[in-house]
Amino acid sequence: MLEIKDTTEQGITIVHLKGRLDGSTSAQADKYLVDHSASSDEASILIDASELEYMSSAGLRVLLMAAKRAKSSQGQIALAEPQEGVRQVLEISGFTSILDIHPTRAEALQALAG
């Protein structure tokens, strides 16, 4: 199960993911991010992963596609506070060179705002 909600802070859209981002929830997350990026004036998005418990390769694909969409619209995707297991998946898969990953939400916001 995956819960998704968004807020805005310092003019940056924050998408909060809670639960599991895997094969059964990746379509939901992808649709949410596509719909959000299509309707947003802000091309940059912060993904708060502090409550994301698990991410599979299907979840990695969602993040990759979101990063590509952001880049094509001159925006950025930043990921904040990934839990240890999610951080390891990102490191092993090489996503640390694709995504801007920050240990805190405040640091991610500062990087996107700067």
Share of the chain above pLDDT 90, in %: 70
Kindly tell me if the per-residue pLDDT of 1 is higher than 70: yes
Q: What is the per-residue pLDDT across 46-55, written as a single tens digit (0 to 9) for each?
A: 999 999 999 9
Q: At what angle do helices 26-39 and 57-72 cross, to 10 degrees?
A: 10
Q: What is the CATH number of the domain that holds 33?
A: 3.30.750.24
Bigger pLDDT: 114 vs 93: 93
Longest dimension (CA), the chain: 35
pLDDT on residue 40: 53
Q: What is the per-residue pLDDT across 25-45, written as a single tens digit (0 to 9) for each?
A: 999 999 998 887 755 555 789
In one letter, which amino acid is 32? Y
Phi, psi of 112 (to 5 degrees): -70, -35
Domain count, the chain: 1
Q: Give the range of the structural domain holding residue 74, as residue numbers without chain letter.
A: 2-113
Give, in order, the Cα–Cα distances in Å from 46 to each of 22, 24, 50, 80: 19, 23, 12, 7
